[in-house]
Chains A and B, each alone.
Chain A
Amino acid sequence: MDDLIADFVAECREMLEALGGEIVAWEAQPDDRARLDNIFRFVHTVKGNCGFFEFPRLEALSHAAEDALADCRAGRRVPDGALVSAVLAVIDRIGEMVAAIEAGEDMPSGDDNHLIDALAPGAEGAVAPVVTAAGDAASKASVAPRTIRLSVELLDRVMSTVSDMVLARNELARRLRESEGDVHVDGAFERLSSIIAEMRDAITRTRMQRIENLFVGLPRMVRDLSAELGKQVLVDVEGGDVELDREMIEMIRDPLTHIIRNAVDHGIEKPAERLASGKREIGVLAVSARQSGNQILIDIHDDGRGIDGKKLVEKAIANGVIAKDDAAQLSRREQLALIFEAGLSTAKEVTAISGRGVGMDVVRSNVERIGGIVEVDSKPGEGTRMTLRVPLTLTIIPALTVSIAGQHFAIPRSAIEEIVRANGESVTLEHLGGAGVATIRGRRVPEVSLARILGLDTNVEEKDRTLIVLRPAGGDVYALSVDRIHDHEELVVKPAAPAVMATGLYAGTTLADDGSPILLFDPAGIAEVGGVRLEMQERTARIAEGPSAELTKATPVLLFRALDGGRRALRLAVVDRIEEVPSSAVKETAGQLRVQVGDAILPLAGAVKADIGEGKIRVFRLSDGVHEIGYAFAEVVDFATIEHDVIHAERPGEISGVSLINNEPAELVDAHWLFSNHVGAAVRRTEQLVCLVPVWDPWMQNMLRPLVEAAGYRVVDDPQDEAADVVIASLGEELPEDASGKTIWLRSEPESAGKKDQSIYRYDRAALLMALKTAGSGRGK
């Protein structure tokens, strides 16, 4: 409410200032119609707002003035000097009251009746009391206005200057890194950096506009539309105070309008039809906006008849958009997604408002062009919900830099689903008729070789490349193979020249830290140029995905009989191999049972000294990537999977729980506990260590996280969740102040920047594991 009052006061003040000149001119020429209109508008606005806020005195005053002026406008009364004076007195009083409201004071005392009476025709001037208050009011009015108006052009200029400043800072950062650093200079630069970042934030916000500007025209549009169509629609607009980049608002105006037209035209039924299906006569169209992270979600929900998925599919088959066989396998969601196909419209007849068969496909492509997504959800008979997801701003894009044949490019992070190594586990790359198909955990994904698309020669073997799984806005996955991935950066993206855009591959240009230009890819454009058949492949991807999702739920284990006769299981992944050694190789040394396997001496678990008889014993070699331990056992029973629930052990120990495996209970060996208890005292710990891995960084999440988890850490995403023992961060990234634990810095270059550089090359697995281990042991003690 306070906000609204502040707005009201600001508006009144602005109008009063503008009116200052008008009033004087009107006084000189009481029959000037234009002036009269302006003054009338003012008192009218004040009256309207007062009713809302309960300022009865203000309302009475403005109402009286409005009446008098309305008479003049209607020609029932000729404005004369007396009326002008009376109106002026009223306006002055309004000014005083507004000032009082603003200052949070009580209303100026005094009776307004004489002012109102003075407005009556034939009344003689009773304006004297005003004069006494005038001085008082003037002093209050000198308070500086809360807002000023700026031209958008100026803001754009400031914005682009700030963008340049960010780039200049980046360059300076690079030069500072190259030269031998002076601590004071570095410190000053850090400060400058943070100021610039703050400034960029602030400037970005100045360009924000309330989405209200977009929503304000909707009720009227819907009213006109529904009247034309003989329907009754109630519009419910919510979230108008959500702010969005000014440019963005313009970009979503058309798609939003189109969706709403569709909803009224096709979604909401005629009153009779609604009544027949047991709904209220009046359809409800709810439009709401909210912010979620750095995205704005706009929901358009109608309670109409919904989208008939079957009809859509029939139509799609008839139009040759999909094959009949494929159609049968579509999920409900995919059926609905057909609405975005070109040339589909379920409306029986084409109307002037929508349903020309061009529309939703255009809506989608428009939204995708600005990095947004359109989603649709619908229940037949209950209504349809369309959701637009758009980024907050266009100019600064988080991106991943990659290289191919030595040249760097950027990929918008929003499109990246995951990053995998071409030769990694659960990834296979095959060629079918020259086209690449990657199978990533059972999911078939078309592979696009960036080198081939760009016509660049690369000396990186195909198997050594990195696959970036991209989902261009809209939802069709493909894998882009690149030589290397480098870094995550926030890039200030500028449109590229038409000759560059004409390739269809790029979304813009930006400058890297080192000042060299980088091209930003348009993921959808690459798919198109790369010849990925989008819609079709999404469906096959899903089909391949189905069974594999089942598989991943079941953990493969090795079922064995322990020396003590227990039926146990070890997760297959931790078992490196099985060795057979003579019992003489098992010795108790340094307070622990150890086994010699070849040249290595491993701690031995799964046995006590008494268990070791004569002859040979069999040992699992377990590995966590750094350490190995042996686990003695009697015989391997089977390979199996854990399909049933695991009943967890009450206390941490060698056995983490019990589960039914091949219909018999088996104990699950806790490999983590084994390692923590057998690999030196340093890593002995009672609770799992916590490692913070940035959630926004796909590389970290997809590539690093499993490694960190394998090293025995519990990974958290949010520093707020709990204090982390170890924080992993990319070099150059800003850390929250309270990075209480030890930080492991990762750099993307194999070579270190100098002796002072404590960072670790991100693919130096051994060093990483070592760092994780030392960080952990430091705390464990």
Chain B
Amino acid sequence: MNELLLLVTIANERVALPAAAVESVVELEALTPVPRAAPHVAGLSALRSRVLTVIDCMRSLELGTTDCSDGIREAAVVELDGHHYALIVDLVEDVVESLSEPAPVRASMGAGWERVSHGMVETEQGPLLLVDVAALVAGVTEAKAA
């Protein structure tokens, strides 16, 4: 299977998002906060007259908070159940081809990573963790409730 993967950095960790799920990569400017929403919801942003729900991946992974104070952040836009989300990442690097099916990671990862893991895929750039976008968007609260 030669699925295309988007290579991004979250919390200093290089991971892969399924490129098919990613609509575009944008630079977020202003964020409108959503008071009382789950902590991993960083806010709302607008992209071409669409409202994006911005997800702070660091928070979703319980690895701290992305610092949004310095303004522009890179984010990958995904669509889930008709809603558009922007996933804040540290850096969008490249698009690579997967060379294998996702295989279970047999080492112990952090709880956050464990939750969003789809398994490990081989690429030309070495093994990468394939991230489940839906789990990333759901964040920690829903996962606990489930």
Whether A368 sits at the interface, judged by CB under 8 Å, is: no
Q: Which of B7-15, B26-34, B68-76 forms part of the interface with chain A?
A: B26-34
Whether A510 sits at the interface, judged by CB under 8 Å, is: yes
> Chain B residue with minimal CB distance to A509?
B51
A519-B32 contact in complex given A497-B83, A500-B41, C-beta closer than 8 Å: yes
Cβ–Cβ contact B36 & A511, under 8 A: no
Nearest-CB distance from B57 to chain A (Å)?
Answer: 14
Question: A695: which B residues are within 8 A, CB to CB?
Answer: none
> Chain A residue with minimal CB distance to B41?
A499
Cβ–Cβ contact B35 & A511, under 8 A: no
Question: A549: which B residues are within 8 A, CB to CB?
Answer: none
Cβ–Cβ contact A517 & B137, under 8 A: no
Q: 1/0 per position for A326-367, CB-CB distance to B under 8 A?
A: 000000000000000000000000000000000000000000
> Chain B residue with minimal CB distance to A405?
B35
CB contact between B32 and one of A407, A454, A455, A498 (< 8 Å): that residue: A407
Question: A407: which B residues are within 8 A, CB to CB?
Answer: 32-33, 35
Whether B49 sits at the interface, judged by CB under 8 Å, is: yes
How many angstroms from the CA of A175 to the CA of B50 in the assembled complex?
Answer: 18
Q: 1/0 per position for A498-530, CB-CB distance to B under 8 A?
A: 111011011001110001111100000000010
Cβ–Cβ contact A497 & B53, under 8 A: yes
Cβ–Cβ contact A167 & B37, under 8 A: no
Q: 1/0 per position for B122-142, CB-CB distance to A under 8 A?
A: 000000000000000111011
A516-B46 contact in complex given A496-B51, A496-B53, A510-B51, C-beta closer than 8 Å: yes
Whether B4 sits at the interface, judged by CB under 8 Å, is: no
Cβ–Cβ contact B36 & A498, under 8 A: no
Bin chain A's interface residue count.
Answer: 20 to 34
Whether B21 sits at the interface, judged by CB under 8 Å, is: no
Question: B33: which A residues are within 8 A, CB to CB?
Answer: 407
Question: A516: which B residues are within 8 A, CB to CB?
Answer: 30, 32, 46
> Chain B residue with minimal CB distance to A506?
B34
CB contact between A454 and one of B35, B38, B45, B50 (< 8 Å): that residue: B35
Cβ–Cβ contact A511 & B51, under 8 A: yes
Nearest-CB distance from B83 to chain A (Å)?
Answer: 4
How many angstroms from the CA of A171 to the CA of B46 in the assembled complex?
Answer: 11
How many angstroms from the CA of A498 to the CA of B78 in the assembled complex?
Answer: 15
How many angstroms from the CA of A496 to the CA of B48 in the assembled complex?
Answer: 16
Q: 1/0 per position for B42-56, CB-CB distance to A under 8 A?
A: 001110111111010
> Chain B residue with minimal CB distance to A451?
B35
Best-surrounded residue of B38, B40, B81, B141 (most CB of chain A within 10 A): B38
How many angstroms from the CA of A228 to the CA of B139 in the assembled complex?
Answer: 51
Overall SS of chain B's interface: mixed
> Chain A residue with minimal CB distance to B44?
A517
Within 8 A of A (CB), among B73-110: 81-83, 85
How many angstroms from the CA of A319 to the CA of B77 in the assembled complex?
Answer: 51
Cβ–Cβ contact B46 & A517, under 8 A: yes
Overall SS of chain A's interface: mixed
How many angstroms from the CA of A518 to the CA of B44 in the assembled complex?
Answer: 8
Cβ–Cβ contact A518 & B37, under 8 A: no
Cβ–Cβ contact A167 & B49, under 8 A: yes
Cβ–Cβ contact B34 & A511, under 8 A: no
Cβ–Cβ contact B45 & A517, under 8 A: yes
Cβ–Cβ contact A500 & B37, under 8 A: yes
Cβ–Cβ contact A455 & B44, under 8 A: no
Within 8 A of B (CB), among A6-32: none
Whether A773 sits at the interface, judged by CB under 8 Å, is: no
> Chain B residue with minimal CB distance to A529?
B36
A519-B49 contact in complex given A407-B32, A455-B36, C-beta closer than 8 Å: no
CB contact between A453 and one of B36, B83, B137 (< 8 Å): that residue: B36
Whether A279 sits at the interface, judged by CB under 8 Å, is: no
How many angstroms from the CA of A497 to the CA of B38 in the assembled complex?
Answer: 12
Question: B49: which A residues are within 8 A, CB to CB?
Answer: 164, 167-168, 171, 511, 515
> Chain A residue with minimal CB distance to B52?
A517
Nearest-CB distance from A621 to chain B (Å)?
Answer: 48
Question: B82: which A residues are within 8 A, CB to CB?
Answer: 495
How many angstroms from the CA of A495 to the CA of B83 in the assembled complex?
Answer: 8
How many angstroms from the CA of A499 to the CA of B51 in the assembled complex?
Answer: 14
> Chain A residue with minimal CB distance to B81?
A498
Q: 1/0 per position for A247-270, CB-CB distance to B under 8 A?
A: 000000000000000000000000
> Chain A residue with minimal CB distance to B35?
A454
How many angstroms from the CA of A114 to the CA of B46 in the assembled complex?
Answer: 72
Nearest-CB distance from B127 to chain A (Å)?
Answer: 31
Question: A498: which B residues are within 8 A, CB to CB?
Answer: 81, 83
Question: B139: which A residues are within 8 A, CB to CB?
Answer: 499
How many angstroms from the CA of A500 to the CA of B138 in the assembled complex?
Answer: 11
How many angstroms from the CA of A509 to the CA of B82 in the assembled complex?
Answer: 14
Question: B30: which A residues are within 8 A, CB to CB?
Answer: 516
Nearest-CB distance from B145 to chain A (Å)?
Answer: 10
Question: A517: which B residues are within 8 A, CB to CB?
Answer: 32, 44-46, 51-52
Nearest-CB distance from A531 to chain B (Å)?
Answer: 14
Cβ–Cβ contact B36 & A509, under 8 A: no
Question: A509: which B residues are within 8 A, CB to CB?
Answer: 44, 51
CB contact between B51 and one of A454, A494, A529 (< 8 Å): that residue: A494
Whether A456 sits at the interface, judged by CB under 8 Å, is: yes
How many angstroms from the CA of A171 to the CA of B45 in the assembled complex?
Answer: 14
CB contact between B37 and one of A164, A495, A503 (< 8 Å): that residue: A503
Question: A505: which B residues are within 8 A, CB to CB?
Answer: 35-36
> Chain A residue with minimal CB distance to B34?
A500
Question: B83: which A residues are within 8 A, CB to CB?
Answer: 495-498
A499-B137 contact in complex given A494-B51, A517-B46, C-beta closer than 8 Å: yes
Cβ–Cβ contact B46 & A511, under 8 A: yes
Best-surrounded residue of A499, A509, A529 (most CB of chain B within 10 A): A499
Question: B137: which A residues are within 8 A, CB to CB?
Answer: 497, 499
> Chain B residue with minimal CB distance to A517?
B44
Q: 1/0 per position for A451-470, CB-CB distance to B under 8 A?
A: 00111100000000000000
Nearest-CB distance from B81 to chain A (Å)?
Answer: 8
How many angstroms from the CA of A503 to the CA of B37 in the assembled complex?
Answer: 6
Question: B35: which A residues are within 8 A, CB to CB?
Answer: 407, 453-456, 503, 505
Question: B46: which A residues are within 8 A, CB to CB?
Answer: 511, 515-517
Cβ–Cβ contact B53 & A500, under 8 A: yes
Best-surrounded residue of A171, A497, A505, A515 (most CB of chain B within 10 A): A497
Cβ–Cβ contact A503 & B36, under 8 A: yes
How many angstroms from the CA of A254 to the CA of B34 in the assembled complex?
Answer: 33
Nearest-CB distance from A418 to chain B (Å)?
Answer: 25
Cβ–Cβ contact B41 & A518, under 8 A: no
Question: B36: which A residues are within 8 A, CB to CB?
Answer: 453-455, 503, 505, 529
> Chain B residue with minimal CB distance to A169?
B49
How many angstroms from the CA of A24 to the CA of B34 in the assembled complex?
Answer: 64
How many angstroms from the CA of A494 to the CA of B137 in the assembled complex?
Answer: 19
How many angstroms from the CA of A167 to the CA of B85 in the assembled complex?
Answer: 19
Q: 1/0 per position for A180-221, CB-CB distance to B under 8 A?
A: 000000000000000000000000000000000000000000
Question: A518: which B residues are within 8 A, CB to CB?
Answer: 32
How many angstroms from the CA of A499 to the CA of B60 in the assembled complex?
Answer: 12
Q: 1/0 per position for A426-470, CB-CB distance to B under 8 A?
A: 000000000000000000000000000111100000000000000
> Chain A residue with minimal CB distance to B30?
A516
How many angstroms from the CA of A454 to the CA of B34 in the assembled complex?
Answer: 9
What are 7 A-to-B residue pairs whose CB atoms are below 8 Å?
A: A164-B48, A407-B32, A454-B36, A496-B53, A499-B37, A502-B38, A515-B49
Nearest 4 A/B pairs, CB to CB:
A454-B35, A517-B44, A167-B49, A497-B53
Interface contacts beyond A498-B81, A503-B34: sample of 10 additional A-B pairs, CB < 8 Å, sorted by A:
A164-B48, A407-B32, A454-B36, A456-B35, A497-B85, A499-B41, A502-B37, A502-B38, A506-B34, A519-B32
